[in-house]
Structure 1
């Protein structure tokens, strides 16, 4: 039986709606043709990469990143991407360590404060009134008020490249988790209670955030 192919032609103008099936299609290189770029709203919600680091001179830094995720389980590996070479990336390259801190709803305003563009010598822990709790397997402190934190050792910092091979001003830091902090209040029957931790997530446009409204179970089918 012959395969059926659908030919997709790149639009000559920014964003076009296909009236046959009511789909808005656009090529990012041409433009979305909408009032606001929908990309971050489509890839949402995303757990916030609230990253704490320490510079080689001991100066602390704490900053949130929209692009964050987990990439492996054994061993556990997480990563975040910085748009521009910022203090977090520089500190991580200097010391080889960082910590991810879970942003609960109760910490949302303080997390937002740490996104303020301030000089490198400003300690965001102090700025936001947060407790720098000592690490166990890294020298970087974590947010003492956070329900959970992941201590990481740097695996690599990758500068991203576009399809045409041009280097971008985006830096992906990948780290192996070497220590996990969980507040006992969020352990229920031996499981981390994600719903109770109430994580705040990025959900699209400039000021859009989200919470977990509900959870459900779905088990992987057996062969």
Structure 2
């Protein structure tokens, strides 16, 4: 099979990419509006892009009607966000927070998701998240520049909260204790429990 992406409709291009570039980690992003309303939403176009400075990248698409999502509005207004990783135990809550709620409605409150205070930024953290990165916005880059339909958010990590329960006796994260979920295509997800080791050649 050969796919010519110049001939694919945008939805078909998305489906091919989302079904093949897998598994994708999920950024569960919390923000605050300039009026102080909390927001929580998951994004699976997400990755580490730099360790110096420590920086994460989240791609936030525009809505189908072309409007900006609340997450993007909020982090543009305040310059702050928290990126949580999603454990299997919190998968259902993460999925619930993806609902298209009206502007100004908090997913934390609507979905009954408990919060914890952050230390360096104002947005709250998801209580019980195995890892939470408190971040400040380094840059927001519309893409493509000529007619943007998404925004690349470069989030500089200020502080990380790592649950002691996912750390092993050597002080390293144990992927089985972490038990994260990753996004596959459509409504399919996976877990980080099936692992194997390989030694990188010198």
Could you tell me the TM-score, scaled by structure 2's length?
Answer: 0.90
For 1:176 and 1:31, how far apart are their aligned partners in 2? Answer: 35
Aligned to 1:19: none
The answer (yes or no) to whether the contact 2:175–2:193 under 8 Å persists in 1 is no
- How do 1:44-193 residues align onto structure 2 when only pairs under 5 Å count? 44-84=22-62, 85-161=68-144, 166-189=146-169, 190-193=171-174
Unaligned runs of 5+ in 1: 1-23
Aligned to 1:25: 2
The answer (yes or no) to whether the contact 1:52–1:98 under 8 Å persists in 2 is yes
For 1:208 and 1:72, how far apart are their aligned partners in 2? Answer: 29
Aligned to 1:214: 194
Q: Between Structure 1 and Structure 2, whose CA radius of gyration is higher?
A: 1
Superposed CA deviations along residues 115-161 of structure 1, whole A, max 9, x for unmatched, are 00011221111122211110111111110121110010100111001
Q: Which is worse superposed, 195-204 or 173-182?
A: 195-204
How well do the aligned residues superpose, as a CA RMSD in angstroms? Answer: 1.6
For 1:31 and 1:124, how far apart are their aligned partners in 2? Answer: 34
Superposed CA deviations along residues 144-202 of structure 1, whole A, max 9, x for unmatched, are 121110010100111001xxx63221011111100100111111120112221211111
For 2:2 and 2:201, how far apart are their aligned partners in 1? Answer: 34
The question of 1:197 aligning with 2:197 is answered no
Tell me the secondary structure at the aligned position of residue 192 of structure 1. Answer: coil
For 1:131 and 1:171, how far apart are their aligned partners in 2? Answer: 28
For 1:171 and 1:52, how far apart are their aligned partners in 2? Answer: 17
For 1:212 and 1:156, how far apart are their aligned partners in 2? Answer: 30
The answer (yes or no) to whether the contact 2:137–2:155 under 8 Å persists in 1 is yes
Q: Which is worse superposed, 186-195 or 91-100?
A: 186-195
- Number of positions where the alignment pairs a residue of Structure 1 with one of Structure 2: 193
Larger helix proportion of the pair: 2
For 1:203 and 1:131, how far apart are their aligned partners in 2? Answer: 27
Greater RCO, CA 8 A, separation 6+: 2
